[in-house]
Amino acid sequence: MGKFGRPGDGGGGGGLRVAGGGVVKRGKGGDDRSAYQGIQFLKSFGQHILKNPAIVTAIIDKAGVKSTDVVLEIGPGTGNLTTKLLDACKKVVAVEFDPRMVLELRRRVQGDPVWNSKLEIIQGDFLKVDLPYFDVCVANVPYQISSPLIFKLLAHRPMFRSATLMFQREFAMRLVAPPGDSLYCRLSVNTQLLARTQHILKVGKNNFRPPPKVDSSVVRLEPRHPQIPVNFKEWDGLVRFCFGRKNKTLGGIFRTKNVLELLTNNYRTYKALKVVPDKKAAKAAAAASMDVDVSEASSQEVVKQLIEDVLATDGFGEMRSSKMSQDDFLRLLATFNSKGIHFA
């Protein structure tokens, strides 16, 4: 499928034959390289080519690609998926880091004027390039950048319709994990705040050349329309605290000394920067802020009591992050904010 995939196998010394006549070679620094059709696939880039055409077809079907769509493909590699997409959509925008793969992809489409006219290649680091408009995204995701790639996509505007992405299986299952699942984590909560997630299919490691160490899974993300009205930096700040020890009660987390100190600093900063509507109120607020600044100990006592008030609301103190739903976290954040406690 793409130049990127799962972590490569270590292999032994010398060369190992792989399916299709390729040779896995040990490069400098222990890097595994697979020579296939004249191209060496690099472990350092996570290059594993999806070789099963049935899986390629299934991914396109599950992506729901329309003939009028502009499709963003990340890591097209030698173009096994790209050519199928070109037959199915209006245009493919392919982002590829490896200049050798860019050259191979151009060679592959140059003999077909229709394919050639429908393909745009952006050579560069996906996390650094500016993305154009697209309707859907399809990618065999670089395992090294799985998480930042997701949040770059979900921050893109205008919003796209869906993204059908292949990840290492455990990472994929974290994306779709519900509350109470052993894999439910900060990644689950943050992704599911911004998008609906669905596990599409499992892809065994033997469907790649060379085969990686672990199986993969394909996940479909659909950005929420409209987006849930919440400050994502604040949300992530709260969730980061909660999942630092996800099996502890919220009471056990928010009563710790370190958390109290951090929230006290946030509280003091917020009070100092708070915008007030008129000069008289501004003077009063400034005086109040100065009073708060006089004693850090008194500030902590204020914040400590505010935290206790929050924990006493709706039974939050006894809740555990590992079992809390999106609505639970939204209510928790709203309750903290109502007390003047912020996380960003």
Integer Cα distance of 166 and 208 in angstroms: 12
Closest listed residue to residue 238, CA positions, set 213, 266, 217 = 266
Cα angle vertex 125, ends 119, 127, to 5°? 105
- d(C-alpha 208, C-alpha 47), whole Å: 10
Task: Note the helical H segments in the chain.
Answer: 53-63, 80-88, 99-109, 113-118, 146-155, 169-176, 186-194, 232-242, 250-254, 257-273, 279-294, 296-311, 326-338
Give the chain's length: 344
Distance separating alpha carbons of residues 16 and 11, to the nearest angstrom: 7
CB 134 within 8 A of CB 95: no
The verdict on whether residue 50 carries a ligand-binding annotation is yes
**Nearest-CA neighbor of 307 among 332, 290, 281?**
332
**Structure token pair of residue 113:** 């004027």
How far apart CA 213 and CA 224 sit, in angstroms, is: 34
What does residue 97 show for φ and ψ, rounded to 5 degrees? -85, -40
Does the annotation list 247 as a binding residue?
A: no
Tell me: is residue 75 an annotated ligand-binding position.
Answer: yes
3-state percent helix, strand, coil for the chain, nearest multiple of 5: 50, 20, 30
For residue 294, the 8-state DSSP code is: H
Q: How far lies 337's CA from each of 210, 260, 310, 342, in Å?
A: 51, 15, 10, 6
Q: Among 308, 163, 326, which Cα is nearest to 238's?
A: 326
125 annotated as belonging to a binding site for a ligand: yes
Detail the residues annotated as belonging to a binding site for S-adenosyl-L-methionine. 48, 50, 75, 96, 125, 140
Q: Which residues are annotated as a binding site?
A: 48, 50, 75, 96, 125, 140
